[in-house]
């Protein structure tokens, strides 16, 4: 691991399209070396997204019905199949150079998992990896099967990654019924709230993620900023 520093930007609730535009802008800047590795922490309004491998058949409800519930469907340039984003879910977008992991995307995915597993631990939640099934999985008392608490999907452009993870904190899990999450038939989704039997704020979980990142990334946290002026962010980012 190199000791490249990184920045965390907390964006609050951001419409999917706007966040995507921001990601693409930051991706371009990261590729040009104008900014350091940047991790965005945010929340989306209701949206279903299909990755490049996404199969429309895994969206069970039809689009009109989804639209009626205020859920849009979008196809995006990350790996993975279909997933749901919405209120109560902590989304982390990693605009990072793969060189930290010697251009090994497998190690990169494991680092995202590691971050979430460590961040969940102080809440008393045991996150696990399942070989072959990228994401973070949790044992549930009385259930034979692990349930999935976080989905991961990334895109890589010129060895800079974008997209990242979606961690269910207080997500309304019923929304996952509209899809076959990640194309995995018969897998159940869970959330921090469901596992603990109480609601935890997104900020609290974001703080936990921010706290473990320097260690997982092996680099210094330059800034952890609560962004209030997103429009300006597209135009200006610190160059160092």
Partner 1 sequence: MAVSIVMPQLGESIVEGTVAKWLVREGDLVEKDQPLLEVSTDKVDTELPSPAAGVIGKILVAEGRTVDVGTVLATIEEAVKQVHAPGAPEPAPPRAQSPAGAPPVRATPRLSREAIAEGRMREAARARETVDRPAAPREEDRRRISPLVRRMAEEHGIDLTEIRGTGIEGRVTKSDVLGWISRGAPARAPQIAPAAGRNASISEEAAATPAVPAEEGFLRIPTFSVPRYAPQPGDQVIPFSRIRKRIADHMVYSNVISPRVTTVAEVNMGTVATLREAHKAALRAEGVTLTFLPFVIAALTRAITDYPGINASVQEDTLILKKAIHVGVAVDTERGLLVPVIHGADRKGVLDLARAVQDLGNRARDHALTPDDMAGGTIAVTNPGAKGNLFGTPVINQPHVVIVRMGEVVKRPVVVEVDGEDLIAIRPMMYLALTYDHRVVDGVMGNGALHRLREILEAGAFDL
Footprint of partner 1 on this chain (CB under 8 A)?
Answer: 7, 12, 27-28, 31-32, 51-53, 77-80, 104-109, 132, 134-135, 152-158, 223, 225-232, 235-240
Helix (H) or strand (E) holding 12: strand 6-13
- The Cα 59–Cα 206 span in angstroms is 29
* Residue whose CB is less far from partner 1, 132 or 142: 132
The minimum distance between CB 177 and partner 1, in angstroms, equals 22
**15 versus 70: smaller Cβ distance to partner 1:** 15
* Beta carbon of residue 155, minimum distance to partner 1 (angstroms, whole number): 5
Q: In this complex, which beta carbon is closest to partner 1, that of residue 154 or of residue 167?
A: 154
Q: Which of 196, 192, 176 is nearest to 184 (CA)?
A: 176
Residues labelled catalytic: 182
| 13/15 Cα distance (integer angstroms) | 7
Rounded CA gap, 8 and 75, in Å?
26
Rg (CA), the chain: 17
Least distance from C-beta 171 to partner 1, angstroms?
Answer: 19
Residues 6+ apart with CB under 8 A from 102: none
Q: How far is the CB of 65 from partner 1 (least distance, A)?
A: 28
- Report the residue number, 137 or 194, with the smaller CB distance to partner 1: 137
Tokens of residue 204, six digits: 């609290």
Q: Is the distance from CB of 201 to CB of 194 less than 8 angstroms?
A: no
Output 53 or 118, the one with its CB closest to partner 1.
53
| Closest separation in Å from C-beta 68 to partner 1 | 26
Q: How far is CA 202 from CA 65, 169, 229, in A?
A: 28, 7, 20
For helices 105-120 and 202-217, give the axis angle rounded to 10 degrees: 130
3-state SS assignment for residue 69: coil
């Amino acid at each position: 691991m190199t000791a490249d520093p990184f920045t965390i930007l907390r964006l609050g609730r951001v419409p999917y399209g706007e966040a995507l535009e921001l990601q693409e802008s930051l991706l371009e800047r990261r590729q040009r070396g104008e900014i350091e590795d940047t991790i965005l922490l945010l929340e989306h309004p209701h949206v279903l997204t299909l990755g490049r491998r996404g199969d429309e058949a895994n969206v069970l409800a039809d689009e009109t019905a989804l639209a009626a519930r205020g859920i849009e469907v979008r196809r995006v340039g990350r790996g993975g199949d279909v997933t749901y984003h919405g209120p109560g879910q902590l989304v982390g977008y990693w605009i990072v150079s793969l060189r930290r992991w010697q251009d090994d995307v497998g190690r990169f995915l494991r680092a995202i998992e590691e971050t979430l597993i460590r961040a969940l631990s102080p809440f008393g939640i045991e996150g696990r990896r399942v070989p072959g099934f990228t994401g973070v999985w949790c044992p549930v008392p009385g259930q034979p099967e692990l349930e999935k608490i976080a989905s991961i999907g990334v895109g890589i452009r010129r060895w800079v990654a974008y997209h990242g993870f979606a961690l269910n904190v207080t997500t309304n899990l019923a929304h996952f019924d509209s899809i076959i999450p990640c194309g995995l038939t018969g897998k159940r989704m869970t959330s921090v709230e469901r596992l603990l039997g109480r609601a935890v704020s997104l900020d609290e979980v974001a703080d936990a993620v921010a706290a473990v990142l320097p260690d997982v990334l092996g680099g210094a946290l330059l800034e952890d900023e609560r962004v209030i002026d997103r429009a300006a962010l597209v135009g200006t980012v610190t160059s160092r």
